[in-house]
Structure formats: structure tokens, C-alpha cells
Amino acid sequence: MREIVLDTETTGFDPESGDRIVEIGAVELLRHVPTGKTYHQYINPERSMPQDAFEVHGLGDDFLKDKPVFKDIAEDFIEFVGDAKLVIHNAAFDMKFLNAELGWVGKPHLDWERAVDTLAIARKKFPGSPASLDALCRRYGIDNSARTLHGALLDSEILAEVYLELIGGRQPDFGLAENAAPVTQAAGSNDQGRVGQRPTPLKPRLTDAEEKAHADFISGMGEKALWARFS
């Protein structure tokens, strides 16, 4: 299962009022494990940066003026995310902006069903508790000391760690859930989940010489050796 942990920075709160995306950062997970593949892009919003937005992420007009516009990076972004699930903190905000930008350049929208909202997961798991990214970092002991300002790639990297904790830690199913067969009750047994013995025991794989060598090695360890309890 491929997932993309994603974050954006913008000029404000509402694309319908003329606000634009100025940065996208994303981290790839495969079976809940970071692959090391990332996507990061600064974007020229083709408008001035409001002061209150600048104070959040520190991306000003001078820095962004020579960056590509969204139209020029749209294909690379679409190719990176592919058809993966999109893990986003407060997904409604980022999805609204991404779909607005994609629509303006004639690209298909991202399906809302693809979004996994970590804010909603946190609020359900810890009702009544703060659920900001910083609060979740404190709860899980995740180092966010480099987060002096919001930054899309750094925030997505931190969010990836938070997300894995929210769903139960790294590799919550160890990749076994998709292929694991259900445990069935052995015939004639009243114990739930106990697997019956093989009708025919497997043949030993050790040769006589290997068994003798092992026995000689154990005997040389003395009577108090741990192995002596099992020999």
C-alpha cells in the first residue's frame, strides 16, 4: 500500500478569494514505511504575500518571484502522488487548495475519498485534547525543534512520524495482514486458536554428524550451561 504524506503552504485561507499555494512538500510511505522518496516545490503565487501569511511560513515575494508557477509543476506533482492515499493534517484545507489549483490549469481534481485526515484521527483518538501537529509531537515525543516556521516538506516529514504513531506505530501490521490466513480451531479441540499437530511429523534436517557435533559442543559447556536444561 502506497501513501503520500502531504502538506502545503499558502498565501491565505481561501482560494476562491484569490489565495494560492506557495509550497508543496510530500513524503512517500510504502506499507507504512518511509521510502526516502520526497517531493518538494516552491511556487510563484503570481500575487503579493500578505504579512500574516509571511509570518507563518517566511516565504516572501522576493524569494518566490523566480519560482515556477503551478501550471509548470502540475504534471510532476500529479505523477508523484499517482493514485496513492493522501495523508494530510486538516485535509479539507489542503485538498481545497490543491483542487482549486488543478482546476485552474485544466487538470482533474483529486478525489476527496483519497484523503486520510490525521486531524480527524487525532480528535477521535484523543477527544477534547489539543490535536495540532505540535501538540501531537509533544504527545508522542517526536522532535520538532527544527519547526521554527511552517515548511511544507519538514511538516510532511514530521506528520509522517505522527501518522505512524496514530495508527499504532511503525509497521502496525508488519505487512502480514494482507496475506495472513485465518487461524482455525483444530478438529476435536475446545481451545480457540490452537493449531493442531501435523499428522506426520517432519523429518529432522540435521545429519547424524551435525547432531553429534552439537552434542559435543554442549557437553563442553559444563553442567551449569543454559543449554544443558534442554538437552
State pLDDT tens for residues 174-214.
444 444 444 444 444 444 444 455 566 666 666 777 777 77
Number of compact structural domains in the chain: 1
Of 37 and 223, which is predicted with more confidence? Answer: 37
Containing domain of residue 75, as a range? Answer: 2-166
Residue whose cell numbers read 493514485: 83
The catalytic position among 89, 109, 150, 214 is: 150
Residue 29 domain-assigned? yes
Q: Distance between CA atoms of 144 and 5, rounded to whole angstroms? A: 16
Of 31 and 185, which is predicted with more confidence? Answer: 31
Residue 187 domain-assigned? no
Residue 222 domain-assigned? no
Longest alpha-carbon distance in the chain? 82
Q: Is 40 an annotated catalytic residue?
A: no
Considering the entire predicted model, what is its pTM?
Answer: 0.73
Q: What percent of the chain lies above the pLDDT cut of 90?
A: 69
Instruction: Give me the pLDDT at residue 198, please.
Output: 57
Residue 31 domain-assigned? yes
Report whether pLDDT(9) > 70.
Answer: yes
User: What are the φ and ψ backbone dihedral angles of 19, each rounded to 5 degrees?
Assistant: -75, 150
Distance of CA 99 to the CA centre of its chain: 22
Q: Distance between CA atoms of 154 and 159, rounded to whole angstroms? A: 8
Q: Is 94:6 a contact under the CB 8 Å cutoff?
A: yes
Q: Distance between CA atoms of 177 and 168, rounded to whole angstroms? A: 14
Q: Distance between CA atoms of 2 and 80, rounded to whole angstroms? A: 11
List, as one string, the DSSP characters of 60-96: -HHHHTTSPPHHHHHHHHHHHHTT-EEEETTHHHHHH
Residue 191 domain-assigned? no
C-alpha cell, 186: 483444530
Instruction: Give me the pLDDT at residue 19, please.
Output: 98
Residue 184 domain-assigned? no
Residue 213 domain-assigned? no
Of 207 and 137, which is predicted with more confidence? Answer: 137
C-alpha cell, 10: 499558502
Q: Which helix (H) or strand (E) holds 28?
A: strand 21-30
Q: Distance between CA atoms of 10 and 57, rounded to whole angstroms? A: 9
Residue 75 domain-assigned? yes
CATH code, 49:
3.30.420.10
Report whether pLDDT(56) > 90.
Answer: yes
Question: pLDDT digit string (tens) for 158-178?
Answer: 999 999 999 987 555 444 444
Of 112 and 222, which is predicted with more confidence? Answer: 112
Q: What torsion, rounded to 10 degrees, do the Cα atoms 6, 11, 12, 15 define? A: -80
- Decide: helix, strand or coil at residue 14: coil
